[in-house]
Structure 1
């Protein structure tokens, strides 16, 4: 379950996602040499043991799985696409790295960086909601928190993390640039930054978790399956349409993006 800030919601590779299968996408991201991850596994510090129901297999990159290789995104690609799209380079690098990582893990998914970027834009303005500034380390300051899920204009979700992530010991709140609810993070948390911990406030971690979540239902290479995946991230048809519009906007390529 995820939450768009202020709105109830239940969320590279060689391909891009075009929500309406339009042509002429921006050149896909290219990777630099992979860097070996530190020894050990990713951990979700301060989280309760995840519910085994609907918990992903290690092959899908759950929080308890081995740390994913750190993918270095080509800085020239990132600089060019950031200039064309207006996506802050730090955020764009996180989306592209998640895309490349999941492409290697689950080549049948076909998720595109622009889908992740569209979600990041709608959920938090790429980590800038409420005047936050996304640092070079990938953390927005101040931290981004959604409204209390107390049943007042939103679903009622009693606290599931003891306030460890959202600072609320009574009700859950969505956390971070991709707006993960703590209960969802306990199942899908990922270590995209390679620091040995999975933190929903950190954009590399959050982007990778989002990519894995979207891919767990299957491929995202057709309009129908793409829309189903986005709907699973937020059960609102208008949200799916909004993500589609932004993803397609990012995918269109001016000549300068070639």
Structure 2
């Protein structure tokens, strides 16, 4: 997503709801209830009418030069920082402006899913596009991504209390989002607690699954997107990202940003 089309929670400061979630306002109530139980995000603004779509070339993400793996590293066991070539990560970070620690998380998730589901073809840049739209790679609202991969303070979406957003009663006793009455989207990739319960991952191999940790969140997002099969065509890619947020502009914004990252990234 280009900076001029920012769709993060910052929209709320300009009187618009954030692009974080389920398609409230564009889907029937029954569909909203169904999606709310399985999508990473939880609300979005009404889709604008009459605005032209980006060029076709920006409507899905090409796969960039592959992430470089550390020779001999096992994607089934190694933590993210041990999977990705450090020099490659530094060069991609310098070229794209993505924080180096986020590059490692997105690339490691790409490598892990390529090992688990070779046909998925998700591409680290797709995860980076989503990471930008959802939280500016963990930097929204003054939060910071540290070298361990943890985002602090936590990034929380609005309370899903039905007041202009989906009504999702608490599903985790406030354990993840600090709210024991209503759910809130959590972390750099904005997972609601129930979705994290189903898809939460341990990308840093520390024995815990934390949506506030970018390694865990990126791997969970990759598996979530790949669950329906290969993403190697425009239709398949858009269908997958649609499940993350069923809004045309959101999908186009992710594609635009992901394509920019692919073009900027240096060859292996």
User: Does the pair score TM above 0.5?
Assistant: yes
Alpha-carbon distance between aligned partners in 2 of 1:220 and 1:195, rounded to the nearest angstrom: 29
Q: How many equivalent residue pairs? A: 219
Matching residue of 1:185: 196
Calculate the TM-score normalised by the size of structure 1: 0.79
Q: 1:224 to 1:68 in 2, by over 3 A?
A: farther
Structure with bigger helix share is: 2
Equivalence map 1:47-196=2 (5 Å): 68-71=77-80, 72-196=83-207
Matching residue of 1:48: none
Confirm whether residue 241 of structure 1 aligns to residue 252 of structure 2. Answer: yes
Alpha-carbon distance between aligned partners in 2 of 1:112 and 1:186, rounded to the nearest angstrom: 24
Alpha-carbon distance between aligned partners in 2 of 1:229 and 1:22, rounded to the nearest angstrom: 12
Alpha-carbon distance between aligned partners in 2 of 1:235 and 1:69, rounded to the nearest angstrom: 33
Task: List alignment gaps of at least 5 residues for structure 1.
Answer: 12-17, 38-66
Q: 1:250 to 1:162 in 2, by over 3 A?
A: same
Q: 1:70 to 1:155 in 2, by over 3 A?
A: same
Alpha-carbon distance between aligned partners in 2 of 1:151 and 1:137, rounded to the nearest angstrom: 36
Alpha-carbon distance between aligned partners in 2 of 1:201 and 1:117, rounded to the nearest angstrom: 16
Matching residue of 1:32: 70
Alpha-carbon distance between aligned partners in 1 of 2:137 and 2:246, rounded to the nearest angstrom: 21
Task: List alignment gaps of at least 5 residues for structure 2.
Answer: 1-6, 10-17, 23-39, 41-56
Q: 1:196 to 1:241 in 2, by over 3 A?
A: same
Matching residue of 2:236: 225
Alpha-carbon distance between aligned partners in 1 of 2:86 and 2:69, rounded to the nearest angstrom: 9
Q: Please report the RMSD computed on the Cα atoms of aligned residues, expressed in angstroms.
A: 2.2
Q: 1:257 to 1:108 in 2, by over 3 A?
A: closer
Calculate the TM-score normalised by the size of structure 2: 0.76
Shift of 1:152: 1.4
Shift of 1:19: 6.0
Q: 1:227 to 1:19 in 2, by over 3 A?
A: farther
